[in-house]
Structure 1
């Protein structure tokens, strides 16, 4: 019996095999259906993350092979923002920890369709921006210059937005996915996935974004896996796969730079 049905409900039995999980994922892509709510973190979710990570590595290997063939034919590929950059612990932390957390909250935290998650995102962004603007208007000052003051105001604003988001999550914690959101879920799923992939175009120079479109295909593919994990196993699962994916990518970059 499958853990995830197409009736908008969440069951508890995990897929028995890796192939079963992959088949379930492909079935979800053919007909995206939003469960009522994802279960609490459990071993089945961790197993699903590792199974999707294996699929992610397989697909990325294929895409890298295609890219290698294209480069071998003499085609110039746009360079990412990491090209030529000295990658230290700070950048690794940002890529492997900060980016997965921030991007999953922004692009998939609300995909559950639950009122608390939608309101929490609005509170986090809206409350954070409002608090930052209020601090600036009130003449808030910190540090030696305007940059330090601005960063401090943003940090305090983000903290205020996060507190509002936590309140929203707590007050609406028992509310299930909204019916209208479930009906429109395929649209939300694909819009979220497309937006996630397109935002990575900003990793390339502005005058090369058009030619860089094929280079965000990996983010489009990975985004579908992240969306699947988010709605079926929880936001923690999509964050974990995102971190694993970015960790594999940054490891490859470090390996290539060390051998250069």
Structure 2
């Protein structure tokens, strides 16, 4: 059982991708730290939370859906807003930090933004503790610090004989009652942080939300994945999602540098 208190477990078995999309749509309308998706581990909290429990095909299906929605729907809106506001991206296509995007960012951002959705007590210490890791980026000492935080987080969800002992039920009920607000604020905050990826030139403030619409949608899906499958699955999806555009940019730079320019 998670700290947030799960609803009764769903029947075990595999789900179709279409059923998961429907579940996601229902979830974001009425977020709740509900039971895991069918087929998820029913072992200790550590196994259920960190073991991804998702097939490569299903992982790529979710990544492909996000790529398609961002490429054909939200991406053009963000590009148009950038053009209107004179905004440029900080990323240098010729020098892409792919290790940071595919490994570091998914691990750090999922721990910072979405780990606490099902572990609110741990979030009270983990979020402020992660600030040095976020501010100083990937370095040897921040990597060691991050590894220590992961170990502490895993230790905190080890299986216990009395998992709810000393739990403040009043605080727990309050969190459950406001979980929907917390979930959507986390997605908005995740999107807002990505505004730092741009360089601005007297850009109107009302254009700023349009620039990070893709990150907002991605944050919603990653939040659903974290709650319904676990933090391990959310990290893997985040990594796969980041890898797609990086691979596309690399291929363009390699095979069509004139088009990239």
**Could you tell me the TM-score, scaled by structure 2's length?**
0.70
Structure 2, unpaired ranges of 5+: 1-5, 42-47
2:180 pairs with 1:186: yes
Superposition deviation, residue 22 in structure 1: 0.6
For 1:49, which of 44, 56, 59 is the aligned residue? 59
1:108–1:227 contact (8 Å) kept in structure 2: yes
CA offsets, 1:101-124, max 9 Å, x none? 111111111111353x32551574
The secondary structure found in structure 2 opposite 1:108 is helix
Corresponding pairs, count? 226
2:214 pairs with 1:218: yes
1:3 matched residue in structure 2: none
2:237 matched residue in structure 1: 241
The secondary structure found in structure 2 opposite 1:11 is coil
Q: Which residues in structure 2 correspond to 1:75-86 (within 5 Å)?
A: 75=84, 78-82=87-91, 84-86=92-94
Q: Which residues in structure 2 correspond to 1:30-179 (within 5 Å)?
A: 30-35=29-34, 39=41, 40=48, 41=51, 43-44=53-54, 48-63=58-73, 66-67=76-77, 70=80, 75=84, 78-82=87-91, 84-88=92-96, 91-115=97-121, 117-119=122-124, 121-122=126-127, 124-125=129-130, 156=141, 159=144, 162-163=147-148, 166-167=151-152, 169-174=154-159, 175=163, 178-179=172-173
Structure 1, unpaired ranges of 5+: 1-6, 130-149
2:45 matched residue in structure 1: none
CA offsets, 1:222-251, max 9 Å, x none? 110000000111111111111111111212
2:113–2:190 contact (8 Å) kept in structure 1: yes
- Aligned-residue RMSD, C-alpha: 3.6
2:246 pairs with 1:250: yes
Larger Rg, first or second structure (1 or 2): 1
Between the two structures, name the one with larger relative contact order (CA 8 Å, sep ≥ 6).
2
